Amino acid sequence: MIAVRPLLLVVLLAAPSLVSAETMSFEDATAILGKSCGADIDANCRGVNLDANRLKDCLYRNQDSMSAQCKTDYIGAFDAIQKRAAAHAAVPKMCEREVSKLCTGLPKGDGKVIGCLVTATRGVSARCNQAINDAGYR
């Protein structure tokens, strides 16, 4: 079970879904999966490539032998991971205007753009600020 937890964090970072105003951190969602489903993953999903979709499918296929706690928690944890990943992906689109005004000289996709937006004291719209918050950058 312990060996599964670090892999979950790395693997589940890019899961797509809809953006929500309430997002859980990747670490918290992964901790829920590790705590609630670690033994079930070790028992039922050994050898499965640990990307988000395959792991979720494996747990779904093995619901009959899954612990009650894992059944209760895994869907919510995967949904939270997907929402956070979608929130990360939404920031560039939601903040496009701010990036062009405040972060000139930084190439698109540069990680420094997020830092520029987070530290900007003026000129960041409420929409952009909400996207930054939903993505967990603040």
Q: Is the pTM of this model over 0.75?
A: no
pLDDT digits (tens, 9 = 90+) for 44-69: 888 877 677 888 899 999 999 999 99
Q: CB–CB of 130/21 below 8 Å?
A: yes
Domain ranges of the chain: 1-88, 95-138
Chain segment 107-138, per-residue pLDDT in tens: 777 678 888 999 887 889 999 999 998 898 88
Alpha-carbon distance of 35 to 115, in angstroms, equals: 33
